Amino acid sequence: MKLGYNEIMITSMYFNDINDFINLEFGIKRFQPNMERFHFNPIPLNEYSRKLFTNIETFHIYNKCDEIYNDGRIFKYVIWYTVSYSTYLQEKEQGNICKNIEYTEYDRNKYGNIIPPEVKSLGYDCFYKCSSLTTINIPSSVSELGDYGFYECSSLKSINIPSSIISFGYGCFDGCTSLKSINIDNLQYISEERIFMNEPVLISTEIPENLQIINGKNIFKKDINEFIIPSSITKIGYGCFSYCYSLKSINIPSSINEIGYCCFGYCSSLKSINIPSSITKFGDGCFYECGCEDELKKNETIPRDCFDEW
């Protein structure tokens, strides 16, 4: 297949720096002038490279430190780095576009508790100590919840987490003492830090069928006595069921290949647990002081440090 002008222009949009563009035109003369065909800058520009893209009308700003030009026929800016919702509104009035909008604590205090649909992430301390918040709807446009995002929202009772969420910040729901229901929709991974630092007793926790990794923060509670692990799970994270004093039995499906450290530590009522041959990695202290520790020690496939204090 012979590449034409349009195909090579599309391909060159993924070049890393100005040298790639220059080498293309020097190496293959029939693709000259490729840079002049662009009406936007596909890479950050400096004083030298700006002269090579002569027909730019829309200027893309990829990083805060990028040089910005307001010359020639440029009439609109597209901002790719994260900006606050307040900044987005200002840029919008000027006809500019913001690709990554964060709802900050300042924005929330100014515009209220309803998260606008344009927002892509919730910033650090966004709803910090918002004691009047009882429920929250997170729009599907949001993909990240920042550190301490709902810290000590003591009246927050329920929250729905959409499938778009890919990252929870540290201590995201720390101190949410009234939180009784949380729905995690299609979540595939939860960050290493616990969400529920204060160990609230959840009345209901819906675990989605396609969840791939369980970590302690979304099921860390002391009142459960049984738990069904979906067959889609491949890893049980560190401290996942630690201190679940009432947990009596659990069935580990053959899909599991790793158990994190202190996973079942201090589960003193645990009397029944199966260890499938699929598990190839055991974390330190994963069965420390659990109720069936003596029985598990008879299984020679389980490393001895699984029973040591972690």
Within 8 A by CB and 6+ apart from 41, the residues are 53, 56, 59, 60
pLDDT, position 122: 96
Contacts of 42 by beta carbon, 8 Å cutoff, 6+ apart: 12, 13, 14, 15, 60
How many helices and strands (H and E) does the chain possess? 6, 17
Average pLDDT estimate for 55-77: 91
Confidence label for 67 from pLDDT (cuts 50, 70 and 90): very high
* Backbone dihedral angles phi then psi of residue 100, each to the nearest 5 degrees: -130, 100
In the chain, ranges of CATH 3.80.10.10 domains: 82-208, 222-310
The half-sphere exposure of 71 on its side-chain side, counting CA atoms within 13 A, is: 8
Q: Which range, 59-63, 157-161, 194-198, 297-301, is most confident? A: 59-63
In the structure encoding, which two tokens stand for residue 147, read together?
A: 């550190």
The predicted model gives 238-261 an average pLDDT of 79
Q: Quick one: pLDDT at residue 227? A: 57
The dotted CATH code for 82-208 is 3.80.10.10
DSSP string covering 187-234: -----SS-S-TT----SEEEPPTT--EE-GGGT--SS-SEEEPPTT--
Q: Which structure tokens are listed for 27? A: 């190496």
CATH of domain 222-310: 3.80.10.10
pLDDT at 149 over 70: yes
Query: Which of the pair, 201 or 48, is modelled with greater confidence?
Result: 48
Of the listed ranges 37-51, 103-117, 167-181, 246-260, the least confidently predicted one is: 167-181
**pTM for the full predicted model:** 0.62
Dump pLDDT digits (tens) for 181-197: 565 543 333 333 333 33
- Starting from the edge strand earliest in sequence, which strands make up the sheet with 144-145, in order? 58-61, 76-84, 97-103, 121-122, 144-145, 167-168
Lowest mean pLDDT among 82-96, 131-145, 177-191: 177-191
Average the pLDDT over 23-46 and give the result.
89
Residue 184: the pLDDT is: 55
Mean pLDDT, residues 72-100 taken together? 95
Q: Which two tokens stand for residue 97?
A: 């576009």
* 3-state secondary structure (DSSP) of residue 61: strand
Question: E strand or H helix at 183, and its extent?
Answer: strand 181-184
**Which element (helix H / strand E) includes 90?**
helix 85-93
Kindly give the pairing relationship between strand 235-236 and strand 213-214.
parallel
What is the Cα–Cα distance from 41 to 71, expressed in whole angstroms? 13
CB 76 within 8 A of CB 58: yes
Sign of CA dihedral 158, 164, 166, 170: negative
Asked whether the predicted pLDDT for residue 222 surpasses 70, the reply is no
